[in-house]
C-alpha cells in the first residue's frame, strides 16, 4: 500500500469540493484560480465539472498540465436513464457524446458516468440497468476512438430512485462484463460504497477496471445525503481499508477528494479547505 504520510502527489481535487458543481455555490473561483491553488500545494491532479469548462476544454486542460497537474477526469456524463435524464434516447446519446468530446478536449483520462434513476414508466432497477448497459455499450467505441475511458460510478442506494439505479460495485461490474469493452470500468467513491460488506470481493474482481477512486467521508449523523459529505476522518468510512483493497486490485492512480458540503466546507475559504485536505490526506487516507 502506498505511503502518503510525506507524499501527496497522488492527491487530486475534484472541484465539487469547492462548490463548483452547482451554480451559486462555493467561492466561485475560476478554473485558473483553482489550478494555481492546487499546483501551489503540490496536488497531483484535478477533476473538473462540465459546467466550469464551457467551450474552453483544450485551453483549460493545457493550463492544468502546464501547472503540473494531471487532468484525472471529467464529471460527468448526463444521466442516461431516469427522471432527470435528457428526454429521449437521442437526446441522451447526443449529450453523452458531447461529454466525451469535452473529456477528450481536456485530455482527461476518464469520464465519470452517473447513470440516473429509475426510468419513468418502469418499476425496480432491472429495466433501467439494461438501458444503461445498452447506452454505455453504444458510446464506448466513440469514447475509445477519442482516448477516453468510461467509469461507471455506483451511488449510494439512497439515490436509486432519481440519480442512480446503479448502486453497487457488483452491478457496475456486471454491466462492464456484459459490455466487454476495453475502456469501460468503474469509479469507486468511498461515500457510496463504504457500507458494502461485499466490497473487498468486488474490488478484487474489478482488477484493472478501477478507473477512479473518490474520497470524502460518511458522517454518522448526516444532515443531507446529497450535500453534507464529511471531510476525510470526520465520518465512519474505513478509508485505509478501502484503499488497501483497491490497491491490492492493482489501482495506483489518483485519489480524488470529492466533498459536497453546502453547509460546512463550501462556506469556508477555498485556501483553507485545500490545506485541510492535504493534511487529512497525509494523516488519514
Ligand atoms: Zn464520486
Alpha carbons 249 and 210: distance in angstroms, whole number: 8
Q: 61 with 109: CB under 8 angstroms?
A: no
- Provide the CATH number for the domain around residue 15: 3.20.20.150
Count: domains in the chain: 1
Position 251 confidence tier, pLDDT thresholds 50, 70, 90: very high
The pLDDT score that the predictor gives to residue 85 is: 98
* CA–centroid distance, residue 189 to ligand 1 (Å): 5
Position 28 confidence tier, pLDDT thresholds 50, 70, 90: confident
Task: Dump pLDDT digits (tens) for 145-193.
Answer: 999 999 999 999 999 999 999 999 999 999 999 999 999 999 999 999 9
In the predicted structure, residue 196 carries a pLDDT above the cut 80: yes
The pLDDT score that the predictor gives to residue 94 is: 98
Q: Is 54 exposed, middle or buried (0-12, 13-18, 19+ CB in 10 A)?
A: exposed
Q: Please give the grid coordinates belonging to residue 109.
A: 483520462
CA-based torsion, 99, 101, 106, 110: positive or negative: positive
Residue 38 counted as domain residue:
yes
Q: 213 with 251: CB under 8 angstroms?
A: yes
Neighbours of 166 (CB within 10 A): 31
* CA–centroid distance, residue 187 to ligand 1 (Å): 7
Residue 20 counted as domain residue:
yes
* CA–centroid distance, residue 256 to ligand 1 (Å): 8
* CA–centroid distance, residue 214 to ligand 1 (Å): 5
* CA–centroid distance, residue 258 to ligand 1 (Å): 6
Alpha carbons 1 and 169: distance in angstroms, whole number: 21
* CA–centroid distance, residue 118 to ligand 1 (Å): 19
In the predicted structure, residue 20 carries a pLDDT above the cut 90: no
Average pLDDT rounded to a whole number, residues 249-276: 96
Task: Dump pLDDT digits (tens) for 55-104.
Answer: 999 999 999 999 999 999 999 999 999 999 999 999 999 999 999 999 99
* CA–centroid distance, residue 68 to ligand 1 (Å): 23
* CA–centroid distance, residue 213 to ligand 1 (Å): 8
Residue 132 counted as domain residue:
yes
Residue 5 counted as domain residue:
no
Average pLDDT rounded to a whole number, residues 234-238: 98
Average pLDDT for the chain? 97
Chain centroid, CA 177 distance in Å: 20
* CA–centroid distance, residue 275 to ligand 1 (Å): 21
Residue 184 counted as domain residue:
yes
* CA–centroid distance, residue 259 to ligand 1 (Å): 9
Residue 4 counted as domain residue:
no
* CA–centroid distance, residue 34 to ligand 1 (Å): 19
Position 25 confidence tier, pLDDT thresholds 50, 70, 90: confident
Task: Dump pLDDT digits (tens) for 199-214.
Answer: 999 999 999 999 999 9
Nearest to 165 by CA among 114, 213, 206: 114
Range of the domain at 137: 11-284
Q: 258 with 19: CB under 8 angstroms?
A: no
Residue 262 counted as domain residue:
yes
* CA–centroid distance, residue 123 to ligand 1 (Å): 26
Residue 111 counted as domain residue:
yes
Amino acid at each position: 500500500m502506498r505511503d502518503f504520510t510525506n507524499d501527496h502527489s497522488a492527491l487530486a481535487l475534484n472541484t465539487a469540493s469547492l462548490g463548483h458543481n452547482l451554480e451559486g455555490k462555493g467561492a466561485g473561483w475560476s478554473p485558473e484560480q483553482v489550478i494555481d491553488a492546487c499546483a501551489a500545494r503540490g496536488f497531483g491532479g484535478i477533476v473538473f465539472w462540465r459546467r466550469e469548462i464551457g467551450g474552453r476544454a483544450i485551453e483549460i486542460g493545457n493550463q492544468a498540465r502546464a501547472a503540473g497537474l494531471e487532468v484525472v477526469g471529467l464529471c460527468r456524463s448526463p444521466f442516461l436513464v431516469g427522471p432527470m435524464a435528457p428526454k429521449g434516447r437521442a437526446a441522451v446519446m447526443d449529450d453523452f457524446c458531447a461529454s466525451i468530446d469535452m473529456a477528450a478536449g481536456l485530455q482527461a483520462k476518464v469520464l465519470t458516468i452517473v447513470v440516473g434513476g429509475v426510468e419513468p414508466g418502469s418499476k425496480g432497477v432491472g429495466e433501467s440497468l439494461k438501458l444503461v448497459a445498452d447506452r454505455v455499450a453504444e458510446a464506448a467505441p466513440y469514447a475509445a476512438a477519442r482516448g477516453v475511458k468510461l467509469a461507471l460510478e455506483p451511488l449510494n442506494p439512497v439515490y436509486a430512485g432519481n440519480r442512480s439505479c446503479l448502486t453497487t460495485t457488483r452491478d457496475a461490474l456486471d454491466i462492464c462484463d456484459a459490455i466487454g469493452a476495453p475502456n469501460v470500468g468503474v469509479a469507486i467513491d468511498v461515500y457510496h460504497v463504504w457500507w458494502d460488506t461485499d466490497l473487498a470481493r468486488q474490488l478484487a474482481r474489478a482488477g484493472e477496471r478501477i478507473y477512479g477512486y473518490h474520497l470524502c467521508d460518511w458522517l454518522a449523523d448526516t444532515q443531507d445525503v446529497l450535500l453534507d459529505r464529511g471531510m476525510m476522518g470526520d465520518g465512519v468510512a474505513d478509508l485505509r481499508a478501502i484503499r488497501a483493497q483497491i490497491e491490492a486490485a492493482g489501482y495506483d492512480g489518483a485519489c480524488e477528494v470529492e466533498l459536497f458540503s453546502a453547509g460546512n466546507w463550501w462556506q469556508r475559504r477555498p485556501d483553507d479547505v485545500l490545506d485541510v485536505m492535504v493534511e487529512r490526506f497525509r494523516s488519514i487516507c
